[in-house]
Amino acid sequence: MTVSAPAPGTVDLGDPNTFAEYDLGAFWRTLRDTAPVHWNPPADGRRGFWVLSRHDDILTAYRDDVHFTSERGNVLVTLLGGGDAGAGRMLAVTDGHRHHELRKILQRVLSPRVLQQVAAAVRVNTRQLIREAVETGGCDFAERIASRIPMTTISNLLGVPEQDRDFLLAQTKTALSADDDDVDEVDSEMARNEILLYFMDMVEERRESPGDDVISLLIGSAVDGVPLSDEDIVLNCYSLIIGGDETSRLTMIDSVHTLAAQPEQWRRLKHGEVAIDTAVDEVLRWASPTMHFGRTVIRETEVHGVRLRPGEIVTLWHASGNRDERVFDRPGVFDPGRTPNKHMAFGYGPHFCLGSYLAKVEIAELLRALRDFTVGFEQTGKALRIRSNFLTGFSTLPVRFRPDHSGLKEVD
């Protein structure tokens, strides 16, 4: 059980244990009110870094590619580790003209128009998984359902064979977080390398035998007339598999955890008093599975009177911005009917998440299936939290479903 965090000066946001041990709600409120540009001092051999906690300041930083860059890493694990090996090649850590060109390539396969057929498959897969779980009474929702929907979707896009998906899921879970205390940064680094090696093999196979998947598309793509290298392709596959799995999976788990604990909000969803799409946005705001992204200062600037100098790390905390009282009415209340809802679960600006449409489809189909096939559900055991300074959520969530027999009789 988490407890309220101590005074801001004693909280280390670079330490994954901070998020496992403390409820940081009061900490974030204090920062937003009294120290919107906060210095997280060096600790345990890690560099210090700046922390932005207000919604508007975070959006401003996301838009600003004059004073800040993504090309020295965009999460604490790489920013504090001295940089990202994918800088200038992987979309998430590339800026400027090359970022624009890479984004255009990937938009060809991730735009809503292109993904209509994929969305239909998500619906079929999700409804089948929920129907099976309801008919058997219950399951570990995190393992049985939430782990399968996003990984199946992104694997289909990338052309990953079904027999390899459990392996990739295990690696993505370890790459940026841990399900237990036994996993350390060495394990995470090994997991990231395993993913890269896996896709290196896949790129070699697709060069020999192209298909209609994203990897084959990347192989046939070029920036300014120069074909993408194997390393370019592998790094962007890594980014797609991590991004395509983590946000959706952790948000799905959180949505069931939250709705099970708040029956009145579940009733509103069940009886159609709130729109599914509106509920999706609130689930994303509430879960905020990606707690932060980061930038490096490249040109001196000032925020709230605090001078930020070249080479310094600035972290942008969705975990705080999505609870900012200056933007959200009663931000500490989960309201699936909330509108407007200017959450930043997918970032903002030039690096706004390319997979946002697909993630929303996955979460929406989950909520529809729960609405149609159950009259409610309850948590039947402890939900274990992951350990990470980047992601937040649960690794397990045992639940029992109460079937809606009339809904289960309907043919999809």
Mean pLDDT score of the chain: 94
Q: In the structure encoding, which two tokens stand for residue 328, read together? A: 């959200």
Mean pLDDT for 100-116 is 91
Q: Do the bridges between strand 49-52 and strand 313-317 make them parallel or antiparallel, or are there none, so unpaired?
A: parallel
Question: What local confidence, expressed as pLDDT, does residue 181 receive?
Answer: 64
| 1 pLDDT above the threshold of 60 | no
Measured at the alpha carbon of residue 332, what is the angle toward residues 30 and 38, in degrees to the nearest 5? 25
Residue 19 lies in a domain: no
Q: What is the pLDDT of residues 196-224, one digit of tens each?
A: 999 999 999 999 999 989 999 999 999 99
Report residue 186's pLDDT band, with 50, 70 and 90 as the boundaries. Answer: confident
CATH number assigned to the domain comprising residue 173: 1.10.630.10
pTM (predicted TM-score):
0.94
Q: Bridge partners of 169?
A: none
| Residue 330 covered by a domain | yes
Answer whether residue 229 is part of any domain: yes
Is 271 part of any domain?
A: yes
Partners of 40 in beta bridges: 49
Q: Is residue 8 part of a domain?
A: no
Phi, psi of 23 (to 5 degrees): -85, 115
Enumerate residues 6+ apart whose C-beta is below 8 A from 399.
Answer: 138, 139, 140, 141, 256, 260, 377, 378, 379, 380
Buried b (16+ CB within 10 A) or exposed e, 48-74: ebbbbbbbebbbbbbeebebbbbbbbb
Whether the Cβ atoms of residue 403 and residue 373 lie closer than 8 Å to each other: yes
Give yes or no for residue 151 having a pLDDT over 60. yes
The pLDDT, as a whole number, for residue 42 is 96
pLDDT value at residue 411: 59
Q: Tell me what percent of the residues of the chain surpass a pLDDT of 90.
A: 84
Range of the structural domain that residue 370 is part of: 25-407
- Identify the pLDDT of residue 340: 97
Contacts of 98 (CB under 8 A, 6+ apart): 88, 223
* DSSP assignments along 319-363, one per residue: HHHTT-TTTSSSTTS--TT--S----TT--GGG--TTHHHHHHHH
Q: Is residue 168 in some structural domain?
A: yes
What confidence category does residue 175 fall into, taking pLDDT thresholds of 50, 70 and 90?
Answer: confident
pLDDT interval class at 182 (50, 70, 90): low
Give mean pLDDT, residues 235-263.
95
Total domains in the fold of the chain: 1
Is residue 124 included in any domain, yes or no?
yes
| Closest listed residue to residue 323, CA positions, set 341, 339, 306 | 341
4 domain-assigned: no
Q: Per-residue pLDDT tens for 348-371?
A: 999 999 999 999 999 999 999 999
Confidence at residue 173, expressed as pLDDT on a 0 to 100 scale: 86
pLDDT per residue over 272-331, tens digit each?
999 999 999 999 999 999 999 999 999 999 999 999 999 999 999 999 999 999 999 999
Is-contact 74 46, C-beta < 8 A?
no
